[in-house]
Amino acid sequence: MNDNGAMAHSETELRFIAPDIAVGKIKQMAVLCKMTQFTDEYFDLPRYPLMKNNMWLRSRDGILELKVGTSHSSTYIEHTNPQSISDILHIQKLESAKDLAVAGYTPIAKFTTSRAVYELEGTIICCDTVDFIDYAIVEIELAQGEYNTSNLKKIRSVASSLGLTQSAENKILLYFRAVDSPALTTANKVLENAQ
């Protein structure tokens, strides 16, 4: 729990570009947990103050989430409680994305992801295809309370066993590149500084 009594969780994840052969290995070696599709819409204020602080506010199929980067580039704290998000962003009323517009937030990206979720050796593997690139992105993650180098080693070991070697950028950054968004320059600076 965070200071406001609302649930928040930390996750360490690494992203990889997944060639077809790696996707095939995932299907062979891992246990399929679920398949889903969702639409993410990201928001920020003019001049991108959230992005500049490695904070990513989104509505995923109508449910608000705020990912806050930590000092470790592969670890984020995810807030899903509207009151917690409201407190962090200093917004008086926050029940839906409509309330974001009243507070001055505007959409900066919107895309749909098809996701297959697998489990392998204690890790969660999300194999994502998005509607703006023609290859899969795989996220391998471990939920945990603190940044932990042994968790990164475990994630890298699972990735290696699947033939995943090429790191991938955040999907939001890939989106900005694909649509030549003016937010790309700001996002690049933020993510470079988080490395």
Can you give the pTM of this predicted structure? 0.85
Distance CA 51, CA 45 (A): 9
Distance CA 191, CA 167 (A): 14
Answer yes or no: is pLDDT of 146 > 70.
no
Residues 4-36 as b or e (16 or more Cβ within 10 Å = b): eebebebbbbbbbbbeeebbebbeeebeeeeee
Chain centroid to Cα 179, Å, comes to 19
User: What mean pLDDT comes out for the span 156-162?
Assistant: 95
- Alpha carbon separation from 121 to 60, 65, 163 (Å, rounded): 28, 28, 15
Other C-beta atoms closer than 10 Å to the C-beta of 154 total: 17
Instruction: Give the pLDDT confidence of 17-73 residue by residue, as tens digits.
Output: 999 999 999 999 999 999 999 999 999 999 999 998 889 999 999 899 999 987 766
Higher-pLDDT residue of 94 and 7 is 94
Top CATH class, 8-194: mainly beta
Higher-pLDDT residue of 187 and 104 is 104
Distance CA 137, CA 157 (A): 17
